[in-house]
Amino acid sequence: MGAQEFRKAMSKFATGITVVTTEFDGSVQGMTVNAFMSVSLDPQLITISLDHRTNFYENADKIKRFGVSILREEQQEISMIFAKQIDKAFHDFTMLDQIPVINDALTTLACTVINTVEAGDHLLLIAKVDEIKLDEGKPILYYNSNYHKLENP
């Protein structure tokens, strides 16, 4: 099995879309991440997976805290901006527990990194969830390498 076949197989798993944000070098940095999951309820832990080719990976040693913004269906463009599919500046952040997150996201989390694990060509950041803000709405989904909307809530 080749990398493309594996990637295609993984694209058959529908996911929500998050934007992960943090501050380093004096500015807010962010990236679109769909490799996000809850790990534990007690303590409340999540993990994100960072590709070795990303700016986030290159600066992983500087990342002590980060935000996760679970995007709503109206926020596809935001996902595309942080995935570098659209070349456009983005500045609509709010603070959650002193961490920048996307304003008006479906759910936001402020997290503290507690462990990192090298996993092939990715780095897993395991983090404790410090604060959560919930909102109402529908998530945007990613399936088969395309954006989708939830038809039945």
Give the model's pLDDT for residue 73. Answer: 95
CB contact set of 99 (below 8 Å; sequence gap of 6+): 21, 22, 23, 65, 66, 67, 110, 111
Chain segment 137-152, per-residue pLDDT in tens: 999 999 999 999 988 7
Through-space distance between the first and last CA atoms of the chain, rounded to whole angstroms: 36
Give the model's pLDDT for residue 151. Answer: 84
Q: Which residue would you say has higher pLDDT here, 86 or 24? A: 86
Under a CB-based contact definition with an 8 Å cutoff, are residues 108 and 133 in contact? yes
Chain segment 27-84, per-residue pLDDT in tens: 899 999 989 999 999 999 999 999 888 888 888 888 899 999 999 999 999 999 999 9
Give the model's pLDDT for residue 46. Answer: 98
State pTM to two decimals.
0.93
Domains of the chain: 3-149 (2.30.110.10)
- Scored b (16 or more CB within 10 A) or e, 121-152 reads ebbbbbbbbeeeeeeebebbbbeeeeeeeeee
Bond before 153 cis per omega within 30 degrees: no
Give the model's pLDDT for residue 80. Answer: 96
Tokens describing residue 33: 């991440």
Q: How far apart are CA 116 and CA 114, in angstroms?
A: 7
Chain segment 75-133, per-residue pLDDT in tens: 999 999 999 999 999 999 999 999 999 999 999 999 999 999 999 999 999 999 999 99
Handedness of CA 85, 87, 88, 93 (dihedral sign): positive
Band of residue 153 on the pLDDT scale cut at 50, 70, 90 = low
